[in-house]
Amino acid sequence: MMLRIERVLNAEKLEKIRAILDGAEWVDGNETSGHQSRNAKRNRQVKQGTEAGQRAGQIVIEALGQAGDFVAAALPLKVFPPLFNRYAEGEAFGAHVDNSIRRLAGSDFRIRSDLSATLFLADPASYDGGELVVEDLFGEHQVKLNAGDLVLYPASSVHRVMPVTRGERTACFFWLQSMVRDDSAREHLYRLDRTVRLLSTERGASDLAVLELTNLYHNLMRRWADA
């Protein structure tokens, strides 16, 4: 499942993150690259483990916890600490697949990367190019979102970032391990959750149909989830 989640960051949080990133230490983006993607990647990113990156990442983590659609769709168990990258003119990231296991350098923290996420931080009118392109069985999907919006997609997909031809593309990216490993099961649960919320608004939480669907949702979670 590929999903756009709007307004994860409001204007105030965007301003705070941008101010932090403007004063951050930027390094070659290959600092966190795997062997396969190293030759395809041309960008910069905030040096991993720095105070600036941690401060900006904490703002993102707090915002994700308040984004109901993100939680419902991702069902996050563990989230890799958010990273931040920047593409200037001529920079791009060729076709690649994210590593199945992501380890945090200098620690024993690791996750199975079920989902990848890109949170756009730059006004799309401020740069040309830089589209995230995600491939699936239906073809290619080009994504370029408003600042503060996030796209969630399977980490197993082949994806790339098109060359930036004007301005700079700044974004936050991270991976997460979901409580539900299977992508199709997560999609079923997300659709069911949306239906429950809609019916609850229309009929009230005590409506018999709402209660039955809520029961079904939680029973499926018990069957599919690792908590």
**In this structure, are 55 and 135 located in the same domain?**
yes
**In this structure, are 70 and 172 located in the same domain?**
yes
**In this structure, are 161 and 187 located in the same domain?**
no
**In this structure, are 133 and 213 located in the same domain?**
no
**In this structure, are 196 and 100 located in the same domain?**
no
CA distance 94 to 68: 32
State the angle between helix axes of 11-22 and 51-65 in degrees (0 to 180), rounded to the nearest 10: 160
**In this structure, are 196 and 110 located in the same domain?**
no
Using pLDDT thresholds of 50, 70 and 90, give the confidence band for residue 129. Answer: very high
DSSP character at residue 207:
-
Between 33 and 201, whose confidence is greater? 201
For residue 21, the one-letter residue type is: L
**In this structure, are 22 and 100 located in the same domain?**
yes
Polymer length of the chain:
227
**In this structure, are 86 and 49 located in the same domain?**
yes
The three-state secondary structure class of 77 is strand
- In this predicted structure, what is the pLDDT of residue 195? 97
Q: What is the mean pLDDT of residues 154-168?
A: 98
Whether residue 55 is predicted with pLDDT greater than 70 in this model: the reply is: yes
CATH code for the domain in which residue 99 is found: 2.60.120.620
In the chain, how many domains are there?
2
Structural domain that includes position 204: 183-224
Whether residue 37 is predicted with pLDDT greater than 80 in this model: the reply is: no
**In this structure, are 119 and 215 located in the same domain?**
no
**In this structure, are 14 and 63 located in the same domain?**
yes
**In this structure, are 174 and 189 located in the same domain?**
no
- In this predicted structure, what is the pLDDT of residue 227? 85
Q: What is the mean pLDDT of residues 156-184?
A: 98
Query: What's the pTM value of the predicted model, to 2 decimals?
Result: 0.94
Using pLDDT thresholds of 50, 70 and 90, give the confidence band for residue 31. Answer: confident
Using pLDDT thresholds of 50, 70 and 90, give the confidence band for residue 139. Answer: very high
- In this predicted structure, what is the pLDDT of residue 40? 82
